[in-house]
Amino acid sequence: MKPILDTSLLPTSTFACGPGQAHPAFRQMPLDKTLFERSHRAADIVREIYANATQELRHLLHLPPDYSLCFFPGGANAAMDSVLWNLTQDSLSGLAFGEFSNRWARTMASRLSGVKNTVRFTKPGELFPVDEPDYNASLLVLTPNETSTGVQIPNEYLSRVWQKRGPDTLVAWDATSCAGGRILPENQFDVMLFSLQKCFGAMGGTCVLILSPRAKARLTQNAGRRAIPFFLDLSLAVKYAENFQTVNTPNTTAIWLCYQAASWMNAHGGLPAMDTLCRRHAAWLVDWAQKTDFIKPFVKEENFRSYTTLTLALTDPQLTPAAINTALAETGLANLQDGLKSHPYAPANTLRVACFPFVDINGVEEYKKLTAALDEIVRQLRKK
């Protein structure tokens, strides 16, 4: 089935939730311009890529000078493991309400022995846990935006956690789905980690880890508490980052893309402008969905609805995500091949749409083309 014949009317952006859309200018960049063939120890590479990327990110996120920023290999999963193994003492708490928050708090944390786990999980029928975490646990893990379901933790909740945390509690955020696109409570964390393939439009396999002075002090306190694999040793990562370096050979192209993305963001209004852009993208989709008779926002409460990865639910039982995604793929356009696929953790009738800054840096024209395409796909599916 090819429901849309005029490809000139279709969007040129990708709306998949990861890897996400890169800045249009970066998509045309020859690979050799990223200096991927150069040694990461070379002085000019350290200066031109790692140091600049670090400085642009620090500026974008308004980091205090005593917070450390590291580029960490292996993506968010490796970084989450590293945070757990290095910073947990005898107890762990937090919130789990989707695939990735559950993975961090349950699957990964279960590998730690002798740790009391009081993470609050969603109960049947809940999108967000009713129970609050244990504010006195040694480590409190939070996912401000859950990629799998499109549920977010409101800023008011994040601030309340910071205010109520115990004197020996570290607060850790996995901000993969929102870093660079959402204004979070400024510096109300001890650890922030995020992959680069969402709002920054870079490739996967590389993560940013930010540690507060309290988190760095915990590294010293925990020395010898448990055996830490060399690859996951945060003390080494922090030490190397002081000289804008990584322990092992990193993905230079990913860091180059991060540098270019953060630099562009800073030059075009910084994080407030990116937050506004993501909200505009999501608002267009929500307004459109509420006017249709076949799709609605999956998360009804706006305060809990992510505006970086938006989830929509089909309300017409005759329509399926598979049919819609097949129609998008059959347009033959590479940017639509991944469609708007829902995550297996979310209900089967859902679609996910990335609202990252680079999906449309000028406003909502790409989203207008997408929704027009969806309207036409549904019209033709209903004719069958």
- Reported as a single tens digit per residue, the pLDDT across 258-295 is 999 999 999 999 999 999 999 999 999 999 999 999 99
Question: Is the domain of 185 the same as that of 62?
Answer: yes
Question: From CA 361, how far away is CA 133, in angstroms rounded?
Answer: 37
At residue 8 the predicted structure's pLDDT band, cuts being 50, 70 and 90, is confident
Domain boundary among 216, 233, 267: 267
Of residues 243 and 26, which shows the higher confidence score?
Answer: 243
Give how far the C-alpha of residue 198 lies from the chain's centroid of Cα atoms, to the nearest Å: 5
Question: From CA 237, how far away is CA 217, in angstroms rounded?
Answer: 14
Question: From CA 196, how far away is CA 134, in angstroms rounded?
Answer: 30
Question: From CA 243, how far away is CA 183, in angstroms rounded?
Answer: 28
Among the listed residues 171, 164, 161, the one whose alpha carbon sits nearest the alpha carbon of residue 141:
171
Structure tokens, 144: 């401000």
pTM: 0.94
Q: Does residue 65 form part of some domain?
A: yes
Question: Is the domain of 91 the same as that of 198?
Answer: yes
Structure tokens, 104: 């961090």
DSSP code, position 28: T
Question: Is the domain of 213 the same as that of 345?
Answer: no
Question: Is the domain of 93 the same as that of 231?
Answer: yes
> How many structural domains is the chain composed of?
2
Of residues 342 and 161, which shows the higher confidence score?
Answer: 161
314 DSSP β-pair partners: 295
DSSP E strands in 52-117: the ranges are 68-73, 91-96, 116-117
Question: From CA 384, how far away is CA 372, in angstroms rounded?
Answer: 19
> Per-residue pLDDT tens for 168-201?
999 999 999 999 999 999 999 999 999 999 999 9
Quote the pLDDT of residue 145.
97
The domain containing residue 173 runs over which residues? 26-267
Cα distances (Å, whole numbers) of residue 226 to 92, 116, 346: 15, 15, 36
Quote the pLDDT of residue 31.
75
Q: Does residue 1 form part of some domain?
A: no
> Per-residue pLDDT tens for 87-123?
999 999 999 999 999 999 999 999 999 999 999 999 9
Question: Is the domain of 98 the same as that of 214?
Answer: yes
Q: Does residue 117 form part of some domain?
A: yes
Task: Write down the mean pLDDT value for the chain.
Answer: 93
Question: From CA 202, how far away is CA 330, in angstroms rounded?
Answer: 26
Question: From CA 166, how far away is CA 161, in angstroms rounded?
Answer: 10
Question: Is the domain of 185 the same as that of 291?
Answer: no
Question: Is the domain of 234 the same as that of 354?
Answer: no
Q: Is residue 373 classed exposed, middle or buried when 0-12, 13-18 and 19+ CB atoms within 10 A define those classes?
A: buried
Quote the pLDDT of residue 35.
76
Domain boundary among 267, 290, 319: 267
Whole-angstrom distance between the N-terminal and C-terminal Cα of the chain?
A: 11
Q: Which CATH number belongs to the domain containing residue 353 in this structure?
A: 3.90.1150.10
Q: What percent of the chain has pLDDT over 90?
A: 79
Question: From CA 363, how far away is CA 348, in angstroms rounded?
Answer: 30
Cβ atoms of residues 222 and 87 within 8 Å: yes
Question: Is the domain of 184 the same as that of 289?
Answer: no
Question: Is the domain of 287 the same as that of 157?
Answer: no
Question: Is the domain of 181 the same as that of 314?
Answer: no
Report whether pLDDT(3) > 50: no
Report whether pLDDT(227) > 70: yes
Question: Is the domain of 217 the same as that of 349?
Answer: no
Question: From CA 216, how far away is CA 64, in angstroms rounded?
Answer: 14
Q: Does residue 120 form part of some domain?
A: yes
**Tokens 């349950």, residue located:** 106
Question: Is the domain of 191 the same as that of 175?
Answer: yes
Q: Which CATH number belongs to the domain containing residue 154 in this structure?
A: 3.40.640.10
Q: Is residue 124 classed exposed, middle or buried when 0-12, 13-18 and 19+ CB atoms within 10 A define those classes?
A: exposed
Domain boundary among 233, 267, 301: 267
Radius of gyration, alpha carbons of the chain: 21
